[in-house]
Structure 1
Amino acid sequence: MSEGNDSDPNLDQKPPNVPPASSSASPHPIPRNAFTALMSREGKVPTKPANILHKSTSNAFSKFDKRDGLGSYIQNPERSNVSQIIFYNDEFVGINDLYPKSSVHCLLLPRSPKHQRMHPVAAFEDREFLASVRENAAKLKTLVAKELQRRYARFSAQEKAREAVLNGEVELKDGEELPEGRDWEQEVRVGIHAHPSMNHLHIHVISVDCFSEKMRYKNHYNSFSTPFFVELDAFPLSADDERRHPGRNGYLNSNLKCWRCGRDFGVKFALLKEHLAVEFEEWKKE
């Protein structure tokens, strides 16, 4: 996918930014990287990457082509770039988002021919399909939470006791268990955009921090911080749910409000971005 797609504030885009699963055991495994370990057990990954997401050099690369960009992962995950694939099975593919809007941002792609090009609101009326989506989204959410813990546990006050044991500073007594630490799954959101930017159905599994260099526009931020982002747990939506008609309420044009403290920045996106960097550091310390 060309970098040009990221300049479109209406595109949440295709997929990454999380370490992929390794296709073979490493003689020197990274200590305590639970995310990598889990992914290596959870699903298949390609052993021979293919250059599927090449940059187009032609001006004829159409908007329609860009919006179909997730299709290659769905059809041929085994031939996709190994750095982007987290896991895949017969029904779903989990990938890193190519233009992440938080420090960890992944996508779950259904492979069902019946559902893969449907609007999520319609697709999730199928309760059997929705149950399958929830099951695989939960799997990806756990992996994202493990990655957050791997990256940020050393900064977190809630992880202090656990880190002390893991670092050898404290020894557990007989019968004692390793402290659980922070519940990182609480720091992960799962949902869809009420008006998706890509033609293929995709579910966002994203950390709450909104800290990324790819978060470049007001629309980017509001697409995740307003009801434009619909949590997976909300489905199926009732017939009168206003989120079925996102354009009526102008969610993307709403004032910019900090996800963590609620401060209203109006339309001053540059100021919000500076503030988000500060909040990111404070969030890590919780």
Structure 2
Amino acid sequence: MAEVAEDPEDISESPAAPGSHGLHETSSGPQSKKRNAFAELMAPKPKAPKPDAYSGRSSAGARSPSHKNSRGKTTKLKWSGALVEYIDHPDRFPQQVIRVTDKTVLIRDAFPKATVHLLLLPRSPAHHDLHPHQAFEDRDFLAMMRDEAASAARLAAAELKRKLSTFSASSKARNEAMDKGVPFDQLPEGRDYLSDIRIGVHAHPSMDHLHVHIISCDMHSDKVKHRKHYNSFNTPFFIPLEDCPLAEDDERRKTSFQNANLSKGFVCWRCGQEFGNKFAELKRHLETEFEQWKKE
């Protein structure tokens, strides 16, 4: 299957760059001053954690952003292969890695396309070089990735709640009860932020190594810069993990179908309003939708 061509500037997913801000920071509005265990979990760590055992991949054979060729000259690997470093050496990236298990690595996307945007990377060398369509034919592997993604989605939802609940009308009663010291098991229900989290893969990923997006639905980000960035998450180009593996005759496997999705006119993710090719108008509209959405 032919890949959809991508330029480095067009990548819609990539690992976080060194020195980038962690998920504990936000420009969305006021934050609680209370000690927040989740925020501390998600915050960049001051020291690199000790690496745990890798699942079948030797660190001696790990690739890196640069390598020496047969003549001893150091060259850089292509940008699309950058994710492998997080798989092989997650301990080297305490500012970007959120969680490491024996099966997966969870990282922040360096170019987030929404308020919360994470990438889940499998560590299995038998799978992480495969296209999602092929990798998820392994039902045991797919079941594992679904479990890990569900856990990551709960983290993402908790982070979304931490960032936005002070604005949310449906969270007001719960927030007030918490401020009054009401026991946790007696708190009123608040907004269901987990329902705002999407889990899926791109039909033709721009990065080489298998990864699953855990992303909030809002598309509120200055990293959404052009049509491909938006449509890759808001058309059938984005394939929910729950739909995998796709049937052999599923049209979402077809390159022509997915290229057409990427070139479609813009449609608001929230209200369905159509904007044709007017990207700047869409972006202004998304700002309005975000302000309304966070207040729900």
What's the Cα RMSD here?
Answer: 2.8
C-alpha displacement of 1:246? 3.9
1:6–1:13: 8 Å Cα contact kept in structure 2?
no
- SS where residue 265 of structure 1 aligns? strand
1:117 maps to 2:120: no
Partner SS state of residue 283, structure 1: helix
Q: Does 1:107 align with 2:119?
A: yes
Question: Aligned pair in 2 of structure 1 residues 244, 18: CA closer, same or farther (>3 Å)?
Answer: farther
Partner of 2:70: none
Counterpart of 1:140, as a letter, is A
Q: Is structure 2 residue 4 aligned with structure 1 residue 36? A: no
Provide Cα deviations, 1:103-143, integer angstroms capped at 9, x if missing partner.
Answer: 11000000100000100011001000000000110111000
Q: How far did 1:46 drift?
A: 3.0
CA distance in 1, matches of 2:256, 2:117: 25
Alpha-carbon displacement from aligned partner over 1:213-235 (angstroms, at most 9, x marks no partner) = 10101110000000000000001
**Letter paired with 2:79:** K
What is the DSSP-based 3-state SS (H/G/I as helix, E as strand, rest coil) of the residue aligned with 1:276?
helix
Q: Deviations over 1:139-165 (max 9, x none)?
A: 110000000110111111110110111
- Which residue of 1 is the match for residue 12 of structure 2? 12
Partner amino acid, structure 2, of 1:238 = A
Task: State whether residues 127 and 135 of structure 2, in contact with CA within 8 Å, keep that contact through their aligned partners in structure 1.
Answer: yes
Normalised by the length of structure 2, the TM-score is 0.80
Do the aligned partners of residues 209 and 175 (structure 1) sit closer, same or farther apart at CA in structure 2, a change above 3 Å counting? closer
- Give 1:278's aligned residue: 288
Give the alignment partner of residue 98 of structure 1, picking from 110, 129, 133. 110
SS in 1 for 2:267: coil
Contact 1:34 1:147 in 2 (8 A): no
C-alpha distance in 2, partners of 1:158/1:53? 46
Partners of 1:132 and 1:283 in 2: CA distance: 32
Deviation at 1:36, TM superposition (A): 2.9
**What pairs with 1:1-286 in structure 2 (closer than 5 Å)?**
8-9=9-10, 11-16=11-16, 18-19=22-23, 31-36=34-39, 46-47=48-49, 65-80=78-93, 82-168=94-180, 172=182, 177-249=186-258, 250-286=260-296
Kept in 2, the 8 Å contact 1:155–1:285? The answer is yes
How far 1:38 sits from its partner (Å)?
5.6
Is the contact between residue 96 and residue 107 of structure 2 (CA under 8 Å) also seen in structure 1? yes
Equivalent in the alignment of 2:57: none
Which amino acid is the alignment partner of residue 260 of structure 1?
R
Superposition misfits of 4+ residues, deviation over 6 angstroms? none
With over 3 angstroms needed to count, the CA separation of the structure-2 counterparts of 1:167 and 1:30, relative to structure 1, is: closer
Question: Which residue type is aligned with residue 209 of structure 2?
Answer: H
For 1:61 and 1:281, locate their aligned partners in 2 and report how far apart those are by CA, in whole Å: 46
Which ranges of structure 2 fall in alignment gaps of 5 or more residues?
1-5, 25-31, 52-63, 67-73
Q: Which secondary structure state, in structure 2, belongs to the residue aligned with residue 8 of structure 1?
A: helix
Match of 2:28 in 1: none
Structure 1 pair 254/164, CA: closer, same or farther in 2 (3 Å)? Answer: same
> Alpha-carbon deviation of 1:48?
7.9
Where 1:36 maps in the other structure, the secondary structure is helix
Kindly state the Cα deviation for residue 88 of structure 1 after the two structures are TM-superposed.
0.5
Indicate if the aligned counterparts of 1:34 and 1:150 stay in contact, CA closer than 8 A: no
Q: Distance in 2 between matches of 1:221 and 1:208?
A: 11
In 1, the alpha carbon distance for the partners of 2:116 and 2:7 equals 17
Distance 1:206 1:109 in 2: 14
Instruction: Report the CA distance between 1:30 and its aligned residue.
Output: 6.2
Distance 1:134 1:261, change over 3 A: same
Q: Secondary structure at the match of 2:266?
A: coil
Q: Give the TM-score normalised by the residue count of structure 1.
A: 0.82
